[in-house]
Amino acid sequence: MLGHPHNLLHRLHYTHLKRVPLVMQSEVSECALACVAMISGYYGYQINVASLRRMVRIGTQGMNLKQVMELANRIRLTARAVQCEVEELDQLSLPCIIHWDLNHFVVLTKVCNGKVDINDPAQGKRQLSTIEFARSFTGIALELHPSSNFKKQDKRETMRINQLWEKIHGLKRTLVTLLMLSVVIQAAALIAPYYMQWVVDNVLLSHDTPLLMVLALGFALLNLIKTGVTAFRSWFVVRFSSALNIQMGANLFHHLIRLPNAYFEKRHVGDVVSRFGSINAIRELLTTGIVEALIDGLMASVVLIMMFLYSPLLTGVVLAVVGLSFVVQWLFYFPNRRITEESIVAEAKEDSHFLESIRAIQTIKLFSHETHRQNSWLNRYAEVINTDIQLGKLDIAETTLNDLIFGLEMVIVVYLGALIVIEGELTVGMLLAFIAYKNQFTTSILAFIDKILSFKLLTLHLERLSDITLHTQEDSPGQASLPLPVKGHIKVENVSFRYFDQAPWVLNQLSFEIEPGESIAITGESGCGKTTLLKLLLGLLSPTTGTIYLDGIDIQKLDKTTYRSHLGSVMQNDTLLSGTLSENITMFDSPYDEERLKESCRHANILAEIQRLPLGFYSLVGDMGSSFSGGQLQRIFLARALYKQPKVLCLDESTSHLDANNEAIINQHVQQLNITRIIIAHRAETIASATRTIHLEKPQ
């Protein structure tokens, strides 16, 4: 099968220097997108996961092989699926996509001497033995080759640094101020070597004590000015850094909190936190990195001219050594970038696992799974430590080479400089001044190179941040407005929904109408789309086809915030937030209406129980739990929904933990409110409380 001539032709690789780029997945289900991006990038079609995500909709279950082939075809890659054994891996056209562990895709990049190299979009670059590879390999590979109309291009969507500049108030003015202060500091540093030269050449030889005093006082004053300006600049940087952090953090969180609900459902919480944390690296470079890079570059240029005036020969030696050091730093940049990315991903996974363990601590204890969970966390933590070790080894190797290079440079410069002094072309003071300038030059130019490489490394953080910033917000402000007062009339017209292309329909051509004040029970077996329907009504999801109307207005044309202000809801996964009971029920409304708070609790039949608490409404609660039972929590959530004084109330199994008496009391109270109610229920008592029932069935 693998000996087909077409396959053998593509096994001929003429460019051995090309590397398969590593692309990490953003969502749990995006491994296939990342693999396609890697191989297309290898052939010259640069595209990232964000761009591919806009080309195809995928669900939380990911993509199958057929969908991957169709996606590859859309970017002009010819796909060919093959079945092979581990022994036949060297016959595959590399790079290719490998089906992994029955639920994952990786890219096979190299097979050599019993070792297999893969790019895992979830874990990074890995080298495995054929035995280790065989444990996860399913026997399916997908070879991708450029088609006849394939074109090399760059379609990557990413955030650029100038996009941050445009949104930050006062950045340019502050950078100019920092630049001016830095120029003063560097000018003082530039003059400093003359002190040694003048003392050696003019004072020591002539024993001119008055001149020595003048020089000492003058340069002491210069040093005092430099120290004062440096301290002022440092304080200025601290103030600006704090203001910048607030602006950037506020802008990013403003965007993040307005992303669709589906964005958070497809990502681990640790990964979202890690991506948000990339803002710190960007902030540091924006506050000092840009100015320092400009100053270091300018300083290096000026000092280089000074060095040439002293000795072109010695300057040439220094430039040659700096060039060699740059080559060393450039060679270390690529593995450093790769391992840094792996380190960020490993930390995100460890954070997610840690948070997940804390949240699920009751389940872990009930199943006596503490040791297993600990070992699982240790494995992820070990990955973090291992990447730190790899970065440390790279840093040690780079530092050692640079120390060796510049140690030899000093020996050569002193040796040649001494010969030049002996020949009378330089004085001793001039040689000492040259060495001082040389040290300034190497410090500045190395810092400049390091900043440039840091800016290149910044693209890594920008790419991670792009997953947040380039993701479309839930919606833009709607053009339509609801006629007031809102009545609560709902009409669902030919609504169909599925989570991604080619997925089975969850709802298909569903139509019904709910009159204002009517109580509707939604019934049906598990998995028939009841909760999905409720999310559509709440605007958390958008219909694939069809329209939902509130009081005759298409809800897709309404601003989501305004629309939801007229709706109350109790969902299955509702949580409390850190704060008091009153803050949670009023959703931190300030100031809140105390009478409305008590009235909503009375309707939810929870008022008396709250008042019996030692701190009453001021009792502290949080997302990690409280002393409330499941039934009490459901009534608190219902009180929170009723506090909004909604015109439509959506309830998803909101009384499943209540006894019949409590449920009857609540139903009686809510009926008196004369609001539209949509209730998902399985219990006969709950269904009986509705005026009408809509039964859902799974689409065929």
Catalytic residues: 31
- The residue assigned the tokens 């491994």 is 31
Would you call 206 exposed, middle or buried from its count of C-beta atoms within 10 A (0-12, 13-18, 19+)? Answer: exposed
Amino acid at 84: C
Q: How many alpha carbons lie under 13 Å from residue 29 in its C-beta half-sphere?
A: 18
Paired with 548 in beta bridges are: 492
Give me the sign of the Cα torsion angle 298, 300, 306, 311.
negative
Residue 278 near residue 161, CB atoms below 8 Å: no
- The residue assigned the tokens 């003392």 is 199
Q: Which residues, at least 6 apart from 475, have a Cβ–Cβ distance to it below 8 Å?
A: 556, 559, 560
For the chain, what is the radius of gyration of the CA atoms?
Answer: 34
Q: Return d(Cα 171, Cα 192) in angstroms, integer.
A: 32
Among residues 10, 59, 63, the alpha carbon closest in space to that of 34 is found at 63
Among residues 255, 292, 26, 63, the alpha carbon closest in space to that of 181 is found at 292
Q: Return d(Cα 385, Cα 388) in angstroms, integer.
A: 5
Helices (H) and strands (E) in the chain, counts: 24, 19
Residue 300 tokens, joined? 């290096």
Amino acid at 195: Y
Residue 342 near residue 125, CB atoms below 8 Å: yes
Using alpha carbons only, what angle is made at residue 663 by residues 657 and 664, rounded to the nearest 5 degrees? 160
Paired with 620 in beta bridges are: 580
Residue 314 tokens, joined? 């010695």
Q: Which residues, at least 6 apart from 89, have a Cβ–Cβ distance to it below 8 Å?
A: 108, 111, 116, 130, 133
> Which letter does DSSP use for residue 394 in this model?
H
Residue 336 tokens, joined? 């450093």
Residue 37 near residue 172, CB atoms below 8 Å: no
Q: Return d(Cα 643, Cα 585) in angstroms, integer.
A: 7
- How far is the CA of 630 from the CAs of 254, 526, 627, 658, in angstroms? 33, 21, 10, 8
Residue 42 near residue 21, CB atoms below 8 Å: yes
The full DSSP string for 249-288 is HHHHHHHHTTS-HHHHHTS-HHHHHHHHHHHHHHHHIIII
Among residues 29, 67, 64, the alpha carbon closest in space to that of 49 is found at 29
Q: Return d(Cα 642, Cα 550) in angstroms, integer.
A: 19
- The residue assigned the tokens 């080309």 is 55
Paired with 523 in beta bridges are: 695
Amino acid at 459: T
